[in-house]
Structure 1
C-alpha cells in the first residue's frame, strides 16, 4: 500500500500487490461526496461471474472519491495474490493486504476481479485497490466478512513489517471499526510523511467487495468506494 507504488507486478498473469515506500508529497483539496446509503439499504440480486466487472468503479468515479484527476487503472487480475512470505505476522495478512489466497482459502469463493488504480507517475499521490469476490450464496459471503471482522479486531493496535524484494516498511494497524455495514481499518506507514491507507470490506447478496484507498490525507475514501461498488452490484 504505497504511493511509489504498491505497484502491481505480474507473474504468470497473477497480480501481486507490493507494499512499498510511501510518498512525501501532500495532496491538497478534499473529495466532494454526497451522503450515500450504506450497503444494508441496497437490494443486490444474485450475481454471476459476468457481473463482477461492472461492480468495479470507473477511473473517473475513483478520481471523484479521492479528490484527484489523474488516477487511472495500472493493473488488474482475475486471480488471488500471495504475499504471505513478506509479512511479519501471517495471521494479520488479511488486515494488511487484499485478495490474498490464504485469507480467502476455504471460504468457497468462485471468482475474483482485482484492480489497482493510481497516478501513472513515480511520485504518485494516491493508490487504490478495488476487489470484487463472487460466492455461491449470500451466506458464504456473509461468513467471510464475519471471519474478517474477527481478524481485523485482533490485529488492531499492532505493527506489521513488510518485506517485498529489496523494500522494507513497517505499518501500524489502527483499531478496526466494525460497528457498521462496512468494516474499516486504517494503517499508516512509519517514517513515510503521513502516508496511510484505509481498508474497507463488506458484502451484499453473494458478492464481497474489498477496497484500499491510500494517500497522505486519508479519511473514509475506501468506505465510499466499497459502498459505491455495492450500488453498482445492485444495477442488474
Structure 2
C-alpha cells in the first residue's frame, strides 16, 4: 500500500525534501461558541506571535489519540507543489501553505509545521500553519476566496505525481457553513487512509490545519480551533 498525505508528499520543509509517502499530521471549543475565541477577542498579531499559535506535540497527540507524534519538519516559507497536481485550480484544496494559492493575498509571514510518528509507516500525519496578514480584512478575504475554491473542488478527484509517488485523492464536498471551513479527502487504494483540511481566520492571522489517519473525523477542525484559542491568548 502506497499511503501518503496529499499535501506533503513532495513539499520542501526546513530545506529537506520530504519525498515518498509520509503521513503528516496537524482542540477544543469552536470560534463563536461559548468560551471560545471570537474575531473581536483575538488581538492583532505580529510575526513573533506566530510560533505561539501552533500546538505543541503533546496537544497534537491528544487530539489525534496518539502518543508518539513529534515535530518532523518546519518552515517559514510557502511550498510549491503546483507542477504535481492534475488540476491546479484545486491546489489549495489538496495542499497547505502553497505559494501559488497565497500569491497576491499580501501575506507577510508564515509558520508551517509537520508532526508525525517517527516510523516510516506512521499512523498519523498533521500539518499546522499560521499565516500573518497586515490586516484582519485581508486575512478574511483569503478565507472567503478559499471557500469558493473548496466548494468548486468538492466531489472531484485529483491526481498527484512526482518522481517517487503517484496517488489519486477523492475530495469530498466542503463544509463551509461555519467559521472553520472543513473538507475531507481520501486516497484511493490505501486502506481507508484519509485527511481532513481545516481553514479559518481571526484578527490578522489565517489558520490552516491538516490531519490524516485511517479513521479521520474532525481532528483538523479541533486543531484549528485550539490554534484559535492560542491566538486569543497573545
Q: Write the mapping of 1:6-45 to structure 2, written as runs, cut at 5 A.
A: 6=8, 10=12, 13-14=14-15, 20=21, 36-38=29-31, 41-42=36-37, 43-45=41-43
Distance 1:15 1:151, change over 3 A: farther
Q: How far is 1:79 from its partner? A: 0.2
2 CA distance for matches of 1:120 and 1:111? 28
Distance 1:39 1:78, change over 3 A: farther
Superposed CA RMSD: 2.3
Q: Give matches, 1:1-236, under 5 Å.
A: 2=4, 6=8, 10=12, 13-14=14-15, 20=21, 36-38=29-31, 41-42=36-37, 43-236=41-234
Structure 1: any 5+ residue segments left out of the alignment?
Answer: 24-32
Q: Tell me, yes or no, if the aligned pair for 1:127 and 1:214 is still in contact at 8 Å.
A: yes
Distance 1:158 1:9 in 2: 22
Change (3 A) 1:129 1:21: closer
- Match of 1:147, SS state, is helix
How many Å separate the matches in 2 of 1:39 and 1:196? 28
Q: Match of 2:224, SS?
A: helix
| DSSP-derived class of the 1:140 partner | helix
Relative to the length of structure 1, the TM-score reads 0.89
Instruction: Tell me the SS of whatever aligns to 2:166.
Output: strand
Q: How many residues align?
A: 225
TM-score by length of 2: 0.90
Per-residue CA deviations over 1:140-188 (Å, capped at 9, x if unaligned) read 0000000000000000000000012221000000000000000000000
Alpha-carbon shift at residue 38 of structure 1 (Å): 2.0
Residue 26 of structure 1 corresponds to none
- Secondary structure in structure 2 of the residue aligned to 1:44: coil
Q: For structure 2, which runs of at least 5 residues remain unmatched after alignment?
A: none
Q: Secondary structure at the match of 2:150?
A: helix
Specify whether residues 171 and 37 from structure 1 end up closer, same or farther in structure 2 by C-alpha distance, changes over 3 A only.
closer
CA gap 1:141/1:101 in 2 versus in 1, 3 angstroms: same
